[in-house]
Structure formats: structure tokens, C-alpha cells
Amino acid sequence: MSAPTPIRTAVIGFGLAGRVFHCPFVAAVPGLELTAIVQRSKDTAHEAYPNARILRSPEEAFSDPGIDLIVVGTPNETHFDLASQALQAGKHVVVDKPVTISGTAARALIDLAKQHNRILAPFHNRRYDTDFLTVSKLHREGTLGRITQVFAHFDRFRPLQRPNTWKETGGDPNGLLFDLGPHLTDQALALFGPPARVTASVRTDRDKTDIDDAFDIVYEYDIASENGAPRSLRYECHATMLAATPSPRFRVHGTLGSYTKQGLDPQEAALIGGARPPQLGSPDPWLPEPESAWGTLAAAKDLSEPIQLDSAPFPSVTGDYRLFYANVRDAIRGDAPLAISAEDGYRVIRLLELARQSSHERRTLPVTF
């Protein structure tokens, strides 16, 4: 039997998103072909991927009948227009996070994808981070018992506003809430589903900034215990650009113990440094985390003697962004459902809208979709 025709893919944009998070992983997944890259000027995309055609406008990709999949890796405010044009042209679409900058626009994209019977996949790649996959494993296997609190941080130290980047201009659409908020919120949804309430503080903490550069979001869950008694779960999402000493990436507390994980998944840093992932399925390894970076699992030997704790490194699950694109490939072929659906993208942006509203009104809001 001959191999299926590869899914010919065009990546729009060769900034950080296209260069680091999309092109390397499209190129590394069998069954996908990095056919074209849209780069309006410069030739860095051609130098990096000489076998891909370089296009100078998105319209060239939309009008090309040989392109099956469009990846939108451009500034946030362009996501809706580019994704809608791609869907109308009959293309499947991956959109970098956030899928759009409003829930209304996200819902319109979902309707358009259904109308044209095409895949619309939000790029919530942090579901494939080593830290999140490890927390998911602990939750799935019940290692921590009933989880009661999660603290998730994305901390940076950028006290000065960076020049010459759209991420530091334009106000709300490009602030930290829409940059790191989608990752943190999507992970909460993936673990526990929609929360009942949201309370947030979205702020500008630096001396000079044109965007929101810090936020704290608390998602509250009402969860029934095994005996039916109401229980609460508090999931906190934090991000700041003023953390010279970052907090743990995850701290998770449960009725049987706690898990703490320092540091970020190594994939982004490696890619920025020039690394390329090997072909998925090859024997070459892709960035297993060293034991020195593993998180710590602490649990009581005997729950009646909680002062006597066993505390030891817990092996990290290896992260792999190639799996996102492998799933997109399978979904386009009809071999699997999307692991991260367009509805997931809508729910994320809707929760972030509620977080901004909560911060503005200084009150807790019920979650409604």
C-alpha cells in the first residue's frame, strides 16, 4: 500500500511563532509537508527551510489549490481575519493562541469551520509541556488523592518594555493576559473542565508599559466528593514580568500529598537556541528532562502521622510539541478527533474575557459560556 499523500502545509509568519513553534514541528511530523512559508520580507525562512516555497502574502497561500492546511502564526489581532479567509478558501486551519481576541469572534470562526467542514485547531501547545503532562499523570493516577489547590505560574523578568515587538504595544489584545493566559487557562480546563467562578486581577506593574504585564486569576470549582459532600478546588494562574526569582511552575496540593515543579519545559529554549526536533517516530530522542530538573513529590508515610513525610524526585513525563501536529494530521485524515478542539479555544478566550471583567469590576463572577 502506498503512503497517503502528505498534508501540504503553509505557515503564515516567520517571527517567533512561525520560526520556533510551528515550522520545526510541521517539518518533523510524518504525513505533514512544510510546503510554503509566508514571509513578507527578508529571506530567513528560505535559509532555514530551503525546500519550502516562500510566499510574500497570505493570499498566495489561500489561493493555492495545492495547500491543504494553513497555520496562522501572526499577531493576535490578525488571527480572525486570516483564519476566516483560510476557512472560506477551503483550508484546514491551525491558529496560534489566542484563537481570536474575543469570544464572539471565536464563535464565528467555529461556525465557519463547521460550514466548510474543515478542522480548526487552536495551538495550545503547552498541553504537551513536560510539567503539565506530569501533573496530568499524577491527577489521572490519583497519586495526590483529591486535589484541592493548584498554583500555576509563568514568571518572567522583563522590567523594561521591549522595543520593536507587537507584543509590547497595542494594549489589551497583546498584553500578558492574552499571551500567557491562554496557556494557563487551557491547562486548567484540560485537567478539571469549566470552573464555577472566576476572580482576577489584571494589572500594569512595571514603571513603563503599554500592555497589561501581570495577572492573578483564581478559578473556583465545586466538586462533589465520593460521599456526595460538596468540596472546593482552587486553581490559581499567575504571571508577571517582574519575577527575578520565579515561583515554582506548578505547586499542587491534594489529600494524599503535594507535587512541586520548578523551571519551564526545555523545548522552547532549545528551539530558540537553534535545535530542531527529529522526525517523530525516529529513534533519536527529543529533549527528555534531566533528573536534576524533576519535580518533587511529598507524601505522608502514614496519614495519621503526617509529620513523617517521604519526599523524593518524581520522574517527569517528556514533553513533545510534535504530538500536537501529529494529532492535527490524524484529525484531518479522519483517523482521530482533535485533542484540542475549537471549542476549547472558545472557552479559553471566554474565561479570559471574564477574568478581565472581574478585574475591572473588582468582583467574583460566575462562569457562563
Nearest of 167, 70, 187 to residue 126 by alpha carbon: 187
* Residue range(s) defining the domain that contains residue 165: 130-264+281-319+352-361
Question: pLDDT value at position 223?
Answer: 84
Which DSSP state fits 128?
Answer: G
Cell numbers standing for residue 300 = 505522608
Residue among 73, 117, 134, 118 at smallest CA distance from 99: 73
Q: Looking at the DSSP assignment, which residues form a beta bridge with residue 59?
A: none
Residues 120 and 137 grouped into a single domain: no
Asked if residue 366 is part of any domain, the answer here is no
Instruction: For CA atoms 282, 272, 156, 167, give the dihedral sign.
Output: negative
Same domain, 16 and 112: yes
> Does residue 89 sit in the same domain as residue 149?
no
CATH of residue 68: 3.40.50.720
Asked if residues 201 and 161 have their Cβ atoms less than 8 Å apart, the reply is no
Q: Do the domain assignments include residue 346?
A: no
In a domain, 166, yes or no: yes
323 — alpha (psi -120 to 50), left (phi > 0) or beta? alpha
pLDDT at position 227, please?
A: 72
Contacts of 239 (CB under 8 A, 6+ apart): 153, 154, 155, 156, 176, 180, 181, 184, 214, 215
167 and 119 within one domain: no
Please give the model's pTM, rounded to 2 decimal places. 0.95
Whether residues 153 and 95 share a domain: the answer is: no
Both 83 and 134 in a single domain? Answer: no
299 within a domain of the structure (yes/no) = yes
pLDDT at 362: 98
The total domain count for the chain is 2
Same domain, 333 and 225: no
Cell 484546514 appears where?
Answer: 92
Domain of 181, CATH number, reads 3.30.360.10
Task: Convert the pLDDT of each residue in 166-217 to its tens digit.
Answer: 888 887 889 999 999 999 999 999 999 999 999 999 999 999 999 999 999 9
Q: What is the pLDDT of residue 308?
A: 77
Please tell me whether residues 139 and 285 are part of one structural domain: yes
pLDDT at 1: 56
Q: Is residue 248 part of a domain?
A: yes
My answer on whether 157 and 245 are in the same domain is yes
Residues 22 and 141 in one domain: no
Q: What is the pLDDT of residue 2?
A: 64
DSSP H helical ranges for the chain: 16, 23-27, 44-48, 58-62, 79-88, 103-115, 130-141, 176-179, 181-192, 267-272, 322-333, 342-361
Reported as a single tens digit per residue, the pLDDT across 67-115 is 999 999 999 999 999 999 999 999 999 999 999 999 999 999 999 999 9
At 11, list the grid cell: 505557515
**How far apart are alpha carbons 51 and 309 in whole angstroms?**
56
Question: Is residue 271 domain-resident?
Answer: no
- Do 240 and 356 sit in the same domain of this protein? yes
Which residues of the chain are under the pLDDT cut of 50?
Answer: none
112 shares its domain with 158: no
Beta-bridge partners for 120: 93
Per-position b or e across 195-213, b if 16+ CB within 10 A of its CB? bebbbbebbeebeebebbb
Measure the CA–CA gap between 101 and 353, rounded to whole angstroms. 9
Q: How far apart are CA 255 and CA 66, in angstroms?
A: 54
For residue 79, tell me if it sits in a domain.
yes
- Let me know if residue 2 belongs to a domain: no
